[in-house]
Structure 1
Amino acid sequence: IGFTTLPHDARSTLYCTATAKMLDVPIFHVNGNDPLAAVHCIEMALDFRQQFARDVVVDIVCYRKYGHNEGDEPSFTQPRLYAAIAKQPVVSEVFLKSLIDEDVIDHEEAQSLRNSFRTALECARNESRSETQKLKPAIRPQLSTPEMLDPANTAVTLQRLREVGMPLTSEPDEFALNPKIQRLIKQRREMVEGERPLDWGMAEALAFGTLLTEDIPVRLSGQDVRRGTFSHRHAVYYEVGTRRRYLPLRKLAPQQADFRIFNSPLTEAAVLGFEFGYSLDYPNMLLLWEAQFGDFANGAQVIIDQFIASSESKWNETSNIVLLLPHGYEGQGPEHSSGRLERFLQACAEDNIQVGNFTTPANLFHALRRQVYRPFNKPLVIMTPKSLLRDPRCTSSLEDLSEGEFREIIPDTKENASAKRVIFCTGKVYYDLEEYREQNNIDDAAIIRIEQHYPLHEARLREALRQHPEASQFVWCQEESENMGAWFFMEPRLRKLLGQEIIYAGRDASASPATGSRAIHLLEQTKLIEEAFTL
């Protein structure tokens, strides 16, 4: 509310309801000094909404007698208006006069009603002050970090994975599929049968499917989520030549939970705000919002700051909403490279949210299942991949899903006890580092992946470091600019853990998340990978 803003400065129209005209719905204007007319108007509006299931707008034309708050003086900015308002009798006096003029009530009856109402208010206030029953918190207060790091049983047996995977990878009867979708289904059937490693899209589908058959509803919204921005999901099949649709995640079992998936418009604040509110009412479902690119989450920054990051601290309201933010530097420019990992890490405190950047489909599978199988609710922010969605290096086995668990820290895949240098990294850059190490036959450097930044599992990080007792150089490597990414967050924690300075290998500080030149991008990428091993 701009409480010093004049109406003609706030809008170009006569009425504040002009924006509702585009909805083609009824708009009522009623005098706020006439309570009976206002009640009649509101009842009519409610009847209309109930009868026709349409929106309706009521404009109660009234004024604020005093300032915006106790310390505000409205006559500073609207002297003539508030001089006129000061002479106006209050609504109760106007209404009382009309009732007396119509012989509905007299002064004595009015005073009696006023006194009884005031007495009722005083009694309610006194009762509330003496009330010993406190509101029960949504979850246990002051959840400790160790408890947030306790492992959850998220593994699913091979038999169950195949029971879910077979209907997921079956072509619908009498349904003309696009040939590319047929090929995708065939490839995913090979994954279920163990003939091909699992990619990101299939791991996600199995996470959704196993939860649905365990009576856990799944809801996903965002831009292009039915297909996936990068064509990796295909949760909805569209028949060639018709408008028919088929959702395999709704065809898993006769008795399964509800699966909902919605393509939403590019109004991130509105959609994420709605989904956050939905998550409060339905805490036992897996609820996800996916940005078209992680960069576009900045359109919902107000929801992230005001609600997702701080609702538990402010109001003891907890949510288990999951944010999927496609992130990674691939030469697509400043608006299509960064989910702004740094902003989420800056908001991390008091065990409020979980933030991760995963490198394996198995970790996604376990993280999504963990989200609903722990005895508390916390928002989860995942920097999801783009090019890695089809990268043959970014795969997992069925056994990783049936025997494993979520891994906050992934140690070096090679036994390298003599390594002199340890490189810490997160996300896609790991595969570039691994490729460089292989191509250059480097055997004195180890690579440790930080899959979950917050809360940081320091015990598992120490365990990974014990494999390299001779290491004396420690590097943080990231694709993001020095003033972005996880560097500022991880550097003091690693320095405290190791007791020495950490070497930085990454892009220079920049006002923009990424360059718009693909040639410059490639030069920067090559340089930061080399520096991780040579600085």
Structure 2
Amino acid sequence: KAIAEKRSVRKLYVEQLVKRGDISLEVAEQALIDYQSKLQVALDDTRQNAPGNVKAAKPPAPIGVLPHVDTSVDKETIERIFYQLTNYPEGFHPHPKLVRQFEARQKAYETDGDFEWGVGEALAFGSLLIEGFDVRLAGEDSRRGTFSHRHASLVDVETEETFLPLRGVPGISGNFWVYDSLLSEYAALGFEYGYAHSNRNALVMWEGQFGDFVNGAQIVIDQYIVAAEDKWKQANGLVMLLPHGFEGQGPEHSSARIERFLQMCAEDNIQVVNATTAAQYFHVLRRQLIRDVRKPLVIFTPKQPLRMKESRSHINEFTTGSFQEVLDDPFVTDKSAVKRIVMCSGKVAWDAMNERVKRNAPVAVIRVEQLYPFPLDQINEMLTRYPNAREIVWLQEEPENMGPWNFVEHLIWRVKDRGYDLRHAARVASGSPATGSKAIHDQEHADLMDETFLGL
């Protein structure tokens, strides 16, 4: 009632103008009549020319997995970047513990030709900088890396001066920035999304300290990252790095909520990746800019596998090829002997392979490295490589109501029509992502492996 009795803003403003002598009351009234007349003419015209019944066309079918692009880098460039990582300025004093870590890293390469996960990332960054792209990484503890694996910014232990090795790579023409952001996922992710929108030729990344913390930025994800292209035809190449993996660290440090991202996948709106090797990570980062397509990229990054031997990659995997959406089991020598195929995504693949060895089970482990767009054709082709396998188990470390299972089942269930038995192995459905007890975690893991290899 109080609002209804209040005089309108227009009337109050007109009275002010009249009192100041800026206009007369007659002029004000005539302006109102003219404006209302224009509105009425527009309304009448709209009604007279109203279109008939219109049936909107359905959106085009999604393209799905795109053709591969060559993202390899020659050996000379790889080594130029790698050795720059420890090419300290004169008089620089790195932390003694880091010196030992870097020496072991260099020995691994010079002895076996292998690179760990953090080096694979640095090689991707450095090669893009050489090719003229900018690289920008911001996140929670991102300069060092939450798990002390990156060290993109080194600090002199005596002078506290900083040194960013990638800025000194010979031949770079792009800019490299790395920042420790404030602990507001909402604000930081929103800013990086805007930066990626304004600079198409930059690899722009936001990293959560743990993937679990991404829920603090859910509004940005819902309103922009997954929906902006559909709403406004707005392409964006932002990369989200979300550490994910069940390792007994509790419900706030285990899950980046894969299921939530997959639920929002449609119309090729985003890319969802759970890479398992340093080379795969290298190639998917480079693909983000080498390919002339800009889609948000969500990468569920590892924690424990950052230093696992299994996730290391030989230099040949960097100097050839591209990102592979599906990886076959590299340790199966007789494919005709395989009776069961275990499909999975992420770290749990290494658990399954190790368990397979312990049990001497006739199992092949296929890794689905890209969950969206889903590589169904590649999976179907890979199944044909195992002529005597009639069982497929989808294995995930997440609870049954979380993780990729419900998304994947909807896409692969037709394998049953071809005579396959399809089931899944997962933790018990839960309201919380993970237990807070390491002992219970280990028990759940043992149960998960038993369920996966049941009957073999």
Q: TM-score, normalised by structure 2?
A: 0.90
Shift of 1:124: 11
* Alignment partner, residue 347 of structure 2: 428
Residues 121 and 151 of structure 1: is their aligned pair in 2 closer, same or farther, counting only changes over 3 Å?
farther
Partner-residue secondary structure (3-state), 1:328: coil
Name the stretch that deviates more: 154-163 or 191-200: 191-200
SS of 2:424's partner is strand
Alpha-carbon contact 2:113-2:315 (below 8 Å) kept: no
The separation in 2 between residues aligned to 1:102 and 1:503, in whole angstroms, is 81
Provide, for residues 474-528 of structure 1, a one-character-per-residue CA deviation record: whole Å limited to 9, x for no partner: 1111111111111111123222134244122221111111111111111111121
- Verify the 8 A CA contact 1:162 1:192 in the aligned structure 2: no
Rounded to whole Å, the distance in 2 between the matches of 1:121 and 1:290 is 51
Partner of 2:161: 244
Work out whether 1:310 is the aligned partner of 2:227. yes
| C-alpha separation in 2, matches of 1:433 and 1:232 | 25
Aligned amino acid, residue 474 of structure 1: I
Preserved CA contact (<8 Å) 2:156 2:162: yes
Deviations 1:131-156 (A, max 9, x none): xxxxxxxxxx958424x421012111
- 1:438-459 residue CA offsets vs partner (Å, 9 max, x unmatched): 22322x2111111111111122
Alpha-carbon distance between aligned partners in 1 of 2:111 and 2:235, rounded to the nearest angstrom:
39
CA distance in 2, matches of 1:122, 1:249: 64
Question: Which residue number corresponds to residue 418 of structure 1?
Answer: 337
- Once residues 127 and 8 of structure 2 are traced to their aligned partners in structure 1, the CA distance between those partners, rounded to angstroms, is 62
Matched AA of 1:418? A
Superposed CA deviations along residues 369-419 of structure 1, whole A, max 9, x for unmatched, are 101122221111111100000111210011101112101111111232221
1:71-92 deviations in whole A, cap 9, x for unaligned? xxxxxxxxxxxx3333333333
Match of 1:382 among 299, 324, 334: 299
2:185 aligned residue: 268
In structure 2, how many angstroms separate the alpha carbons of the residues matched to 1:405 and 1:254? 23
3-state SS, counterpart of residue 115 of structure 2: coil
Match of 2:394 among 476, 491, 506: 476
| 1:140-178 C-alpha deviation (Å, 9 max, x unpaired) | x958424x4210121111112122222223122211110
CA distance in 2 between partners of 1:438 and 1:295 (Å): 32
Classify the secondary structure of the residue corresponding to 1:369.
helix
CA distance in 2, matches of 1:251, 1:112: 70
Structure 2 letter corresponding to 1:446: A
Tell me, what secondary structure is at the counterpart of 1:456?
A: coil
Q: What is aligned with 2:452? A: 532
CA shift digits 1:413-441 (9 cap, x unpaired): 12322211111111111111111122232
Name the CA distance, whole Å, in 1 between partners of 2:191 and 2:319: 34
1:292 to 185, 205, 209: 209
Given residue 319 of structure 2, which amino acid in structure 1 is its aligned partner? S
Counterpart in 2 of 1:365?
282
Unaligned runs of 5+ in 1: 1-82, 129-140
- 1:321 has 2:321 as partner: no
Match of 1:105 among 16, 19, 23: 23
Cα distance in structure 2, aligned partners of 1:229 and 1:381: 18
SS class of match (1:100): helix
Mapping 1:32-71, distance limit 5 Å? none
Q: Which has the larger radius of gyration?
A: 1
- The answer to whether the Cα contact below 8 Å between 1:311 and 1:317 also exists between their aligned partners in 2 is yes
Report sequence identity in percent.
Answer: 43
CA contact (8 A) 1:161 1:192 kept: no
- Tell me which of 148, 161, 164 is aligned to 1:231: 148
- Name the stretch that deviates more: 432-441 or 211-220: 432-441
Q: 1:497 to 1:283 in 2, by over 3 A?
A: farther
- Structure 1 counterpart of 2:379: 461
C-alpha spacing 1:123/1:364, structure 2 compared with 1 (3 Å)? farther
Q: What SS does the aligned partner of 2:392 have?
A: strand
Determine helix, strand or coil for the equivalent of 2:337.
coil
Q: Is the 8 A contact 2:277 2:310 kept in 1?
A: no
2:341 and 2:161 mapped to 1: Cα distance?
53
- The structural deviation recorded for 1:268 is 1.0
Q: Is the 8 A contact 1:358 1:427 kept in 2?
A: yes
Shift of 1:103: 2.6
Counterpart residue identity of residue 162, structure 1:
E
* Structure 2 counterpart of 1:510: 430
Q: Is the 8 A contact 2:342 2:364 kept in 1?
A: yes
Q: Report the number of matched residues.
A: 440
Correspondence 1:485 to 2:392: no
Which residue identity does 1:505 align to in structure 2? A
TM-score of the two chains, using structure 1 as the length reference: 0.77
1:264-295 CA-partner distances (Å, limit 9, x unpaired): 12211111122112221112211111111111
- 1:180-195 to structure 2, matched below 5 A, reads 180-190=97-107, 193=110, 195=112
Partner residue of 1:34? none
Aligned counterpart, 1:522: 442
Aligned to 2:131: 214
CA distance in 1, matches of 2:20, 2:237: 57
1:117 shift after superposition: 7.3
Q: Which moved more, 1:165-174 or 1:180-189?
A: 180-189
CA distance in 2 between partners of 1:293 and 1:376 (Å):
28
Where 1:505 maps in the other structure, the secondary structure is: strand
* Residue equivalent to 2:50: none
Task: Tell whether the 8 Å contact from 1:219 to 1:288 is kept in structure 2 after alignment.
Answer: yes
2:51 matched residue in structure 1: none
**RMSD in angstroms over aligned alpha carbons?**
2.6
Residues 1:164 and 1:142: Cα distance change in structure 2 (over 3 Å): farther
Which has the higher relative contact order, 1 or 2, with Cα contacts under 8 A spaced 6 or more apart? 2
Change (3 A) 1:396 1:125: farther
CA contact (8 A) 2:399 2:429 kept: yes
Helix, strand or coil at the partner of 1:519 = helix
Kindly provide the amino acid, as one letter, of the partner of residue 518 in structure 1.
Answer: K
Distance 1:113 1:458, change over 3 A: same
Q: Structure 2 vs 1, CA of residues 287 and 194 (structure 1 numbering), >3 Å: closer, same or farther?
A: farther
Partner AA of 1:337 in structure 2: S
